[in-house]
Amino acid sequence: MNLRPSNVASHVAHTAAPEFLGSRMGAVSVSGSCTACGMCLVTCPTGALRPAAKRPIVIASRCTSCLACVEICPVDAISESR
Ligand code: SF4
Ligand code: SF4
């Protein structure tokens, strides 16, 4: 890894406890096409997706924008928030 200060800060931000990083972290959103299959819930490495009545809730402060959930969703219901 290139150890420029900006890269070090980014690395720390993506490995430190996400709950302390707030809005600096990324987030995704889940659309109404979700079928509640649960695959994203078990795929998310940081526990940023929580089960809810109709579709998973995104805990933005825990999301690192790894996009694993986007890749795994069989109906393309998850997209990266802007
Ligand atoms: S982008 Fe990664 S960290 Fe964020 S909710 Fe999806 S799987 Fe979890
Ligand atoms: S993987 Fe897609 S369809 Fe399944 S619960 Fe997650 S958002 Fe919904």
Question: Which residues surround ligand 2 with Cβ inside 6 Å?
Answer: 30, 34-40, 55-56, 72-73, 75, 77-78
- Domains of the chain in start order, with CATH, are 5-80 (3.30.70.20)
User: What three-state secondary structure class fits 60?
Assistant: helix
CA–centroid distance, 41 to ligand 2, in Å, is 8
pTM, entire model: 0.74
By residue count, the chain amounts to 82
What does the pLDDT read at residue 4? 55
Between CA 59 and CA 8 the distance in angstroms is: 24
Question: What are the pLDDT tens digits along the chain (82 aa)?
Answer: 445 554 444 444 444 444 444 444 679 999 999 999 999 999 999 999 999 999 999 999 999 999 999 999 999 999 998 7
Considering every ligand atom shown, identify the ligand nearest to the alpha carbon of residue 73 and give its number. 2
CA neighbor of 80 nearest in space, from 17, 8, 26: 26
